[in-house]
Chain A
Amino acid sequence: MITITDVSKSFDRGRTHALRSVSIHAHAGEVLVLLGSSGCGKTTLLRMINRLDSPDSGEVRLRDRDVCGMDPVALRRSIGYVIQEGGLFPHMTVERNVEIVPRLLGWNRDTRRARTHEILSLVGLSPDEFLPRRPAELSGGQRQRVGIARALAANPMTLLMDEPFGALDAITRDRLQDEILSIQRSEPRTIVFVTHDLFEAVRLADRIVVLHAGSVEQVGTAEQLLNHPATPYVSSLFERATQQATGLLEHAP
């Protein structure tokens, strides 16, 4: 449902490229993970889908329409967007944060109310307890849940998640990954998920796009990448992970 074709982007007038002729495709209802180390261009690629960045050349199509031909505001309102730490507005309550997009879309009060209650329950927070709180009164994990609830509030077909769990501890991250998977099972959406964490990618992805230095190294399921790495970079990615895991086991008491 998202098709990116031959996209290039430079932030310094062509001296270096953040993205170089990148083409990817995300099917409707799949979780597509963009995996790579920092600076590989994965966030830039994601931001092109909701036009926070624009490509120098190439094309981004959403549900078969070129996003560059769409009204950016309407486009963004139709896409859920989650960033690290949730990107919550600190001066608004949880309720106001969650109902932002419905409000921008002009939903009436009762519908908004019902939806905020519903969506907060969906991400595992008690509405009565959390709706009146401010972001500063929440833990990191709770903030992230609210961030996801806010992105889902207007029931978008597409969800963009930019390293949403990067700042969380391992246990909380684990729980939230489960949450995403269970939401995805009950209401499937097209999700593009950016991470630098191989384990997170393997856990969540239907398919993984490995990005390195602005280019796509390989696209495939976790299994395909592990068993048939297309490039030395992809195999080194898995080897390093294996070494780390075995290293940990050897040093364990």
Chain B
Amino acid sequence: MTVSRFTLVLFACGMVLSRASGQTTVRVGSKAFTEQYILAEIVSQLIERNTDLQVQRRFGLGGTDLCHAGLTSGELDIYIEYTGTAIASVLHEAPGADRRASFRRVAGEFRRRFGIEWLPPIGFNNTYSIAVRGDDADAQGLSTISDLARAEGNRKAGFTSEFIERPDGYPGLRDRYGLRFVPIVDLDPGLMYDALAGDQVDVICAFATDARIDALGLRVLADDLRYFPPYDAAILVRADLLRDHPELRDVLAALAGTIDDADMRRLNGLVDIHRREVAEVAIAWIESGLDQYDTWGAAVPREAPMSFWELAVRRRAELARKAVRHLGLTAAGVLVATAIGLPLGVLVHRVAATRAPVLALCEIVQTIPSLAMLAFLFAIYGLLGVLPASTALVLYALLPVTLNTLTGLRQIPRDIRDAATGMGMTPRQSLWLVELPLAAPVIVAGVRAATVLTVGIATLSTYIGAGGLGDFIARGLSRNDTRLTLLGALPAALMAVALSLLIRFVERTLIRS
């Protein structure tokens, strides 16, 4: 009862908000890595500058599934996707080698099946590629992957685990080129580039537009046998929106063919390496392209990069907003979980037959990976944002509350319960006057555990566009920027500790009274 009412209220709020913003707002989404933030920001600014439409930014969503579902459900209007990704993850087909054919395939299928338009490709192809150190390439005369297959000497490879396993990753590559690396080590995508530059490995599977390729003096080898499928980036727009606002097509088509691989690496580098703000980079690119890159960008060092504390002070207003949102998500999750979990705990205590199934269900929910849960809830609600995010939090917080309620009730000695019944208490009086007060410390401990857990999980709400401190963490992780990650993680940790202390304080006050 409580859930559905809560859901209804949130839902109603969402309706009012979306109604209020009406037809004149365009919702632009992005996935959670630098390139996506930059392109989404460029698209947003172009729309704001050249049309009467307002833009709502829903950046940093957790994956292709969410973005695609957002577009098909109308929760998003625009985001940037890659041909190879769309073929593999949405159409579930084997990607072809031809760039043009791939684009025609996805454009046709998306228009027909989803009512989504693919605008002409932006220009760059963010595919997997094979990279080596620049000095190695020069010394051995390596410019293609075939050169690498013919080159002298044994090379050690560092690949992402995904690349090692995917049939269209290393296994196929090895067969196509006759490559042989000994050994091959699993590396985190964020660590590969530094590992190669630091001589820890000799070959990596780089993403073609990663800024670190240039910054660390690495060399991408040409895929001369055309093994890697194309990942051409293009803007996806809901066909309805284009019909209602045909002016959008011209504004966005201006981006077609304007950013090649090297340009994208530079733009990424401005954010990832030179620590420029995404919005700043987007404005600069729109106003002067990359002509000014050398003068305003990397070559001219600005003042020393901000320290964490300077960053925190400068972005304090944003930090406060996100912290409040984070607190709200946590509170909603814990309160609703308590409102459900406490009666559920009483139920499984009183009706033994319900115990095994209910607890098993809570435990299963607990094991669902967070991103899968978010995607699943999005599929159910058809909404991004606070509602699916807080529902996920409720589901995760349910187990500790329910389990501790049960444990708290079970640890009450039998003779105390007998005494209550024997005095002539009704089951309800026994529950409220004796059992719940005696179980209270254990129940409150469960709520406390749930709260700490929820503060942590709420950082993932960013991936479904619900905001909170996770925004900073996701951006920091995607840009390899420790300060930004800390800007989210540190307040989250403090919030967990503070809430835990607060609950402990409330608990003591309760016991005393």
Contacts and interface: CB of A to CB of B under 8 A. Distances in A.
Nearest to B441: A91
Contacts of A85: 415
Contact of A89 (B420, B421, B422, B426): B420
Contact of B419 (A77, A78, A87, A104): A87
Interface string B425-438: 11001000110011
Contact of A73 (B419, B424, B434, B438): B424
B439 to A, nearest CB: 10
A150 B423 CA distance: 9
Given A76-B421, A104-B424, A91 B429 contact: no
A90 interface: yes
B426 A81 contact: no
Interface string A187-218: 00000000000000000000000000000000
A20 B415 CA distance: 25
Contacts of B260: none
Given A84-B415, A87-B415, A50 B422 contact: yes
Interface in B288-331: none
A243 B156 CA distance: 91
B423 to A, nearest CB: 5
Interface in A63-84: 73-78, 81, 83-84
Nearest to A147: B419
A32 interface: no
B418 A76 contact: no
B415 A76 contact: no
Most chain A CB inside 10 Å of its own CB: which residue of B418, B419, B434: B419
B416 interface: yes
A74 B424 contact: yes
A76 B416 CA distance: 15
Given A87-B415, A87-B416, A76 B437 contact: no
A108 B425 CA distance: 18
B422 A101 contact: no
Contacts of B425: 73, 100, 104
Interface string A34-73: 0000000000000000101000000000000000000001
B509 to A, nearest CB: 15
A152 to B, nearest CB: 12
A76 B422 contact: yes
B54 to A, nearest CB: 57
Contact of B423 (A90, A91, A104): A104
A85 B415 CA distance: 9
Contacts of B438: 89-91
Contacts of B437: 91
B513 to A, nearest CB: 11
Interface string B393-432: 0000000000000000000000110111111111001000
Contact of A52 (B421, B426, B429, B434): B421
A25 B420 CA distance: 27
B415 A81 contact: no
Nearest to B438: A91
Interface in B3-24: none
A90 B438 CA distance: 8
Interface string A164-181: 000000000000000000
B419 A89 contact: yes
Interface in B437-462: 437-438
Contact of B424 (A76, A88, A160): A76
A168 to B, nearest CB: 16
Contacts of B423: 76-77, 81, 100-101, 104, 150
Given A75-B424, A83-B418, A101-B424, 13 more contacts: A52-B422, A73-B424, A73-B425, A73-B426, A76-B422, A77-B423, A87-B416, A89-B416, A89-B420, A89-B433, A100-B433, A104-B423, A150-B423
Interface of A: 50, 52, 73-78, 81, 83-85, 87-91, 100-101, 104, 150, 160
17 contacts: A50-B422, A52-B418, A52-B421, A76-B421, A77-B423, A81-B419, A89-B416, A89-B419, A89-B433, A89-B438, A90-B438, A100-B433, A104-B423, A104-B424, A104-B425, A104-B429, A160-B422
9 smallest CB-CB distances across A and B, nearest first, come from: A87-B419, A77-B424, A76-B424, A81-B422, A91-B437, A87-B415, A73-B424, A83-B415, A100-B423
